[in-house]
Amino acid sequence: MSTKTKRKTAKKTPASIVWFEIPVDDSARAKKFYGNLFGWKINAMPHMADYHHIDTAGADASPDGALMKRMCPEHVGVTNYVMVDSVDKMSGKVQKLGGKVHKPKTAVPGMGYFALCLDTEGNVFALWERNAAAK
């Protein structure tokens, strides 16, 4: 047996989709549509006006999501949130690779941080960093 100790390598967070948001104009209509289509349970989030949690009832690895009020006419399509180790570092990488950061690092108190980005093809996506100390 070797007396050398193995070096511990930092475990990198997999870049998995962990959340999604669907912009809507009529939350009751969208709730009925998605609830009937997929059987999703959709309920208002406490203390968050116009934001409704979607329970997809999938396996633990399946992301849940939300219906949210459309912020402007250009707010279209589903936004996927991708888990990263650091929103700051990945925001820099997005810009280095030709993308844009539209909403910089923002705290979700007690949960983590996110940033909204635009890829080189004009698609919106979000970065998500889990951090219970977020304020």
pLDDT in tens, 60-83: 778 999 999 998 888 889 999 999
How many distinct structural domains can be found in the chain?
2
Q: For residues 13 and 83, is the Cβ–Cβ distance under 8 A?
A: yes
Statement to judge: residues 124 and 97 lie in one domain: yes
Of 70, 96, 126, which residue sits at a domain end?
Answer: 70
Structure tokens at 50: 């116009």
Tens digit of each residue's pLDDT (9 = 90 or more) over 93-123: 999 999 999 999 999 999 999 999 999 988 9
Output the domain CATH number for residue 132. 3.10.180.10
What range does the domain containing 124 cover? Answer: 84-135
CA distances from 113 to 59, 85, 123, 125, 131 (A): 24, 11, 20, 14, 7
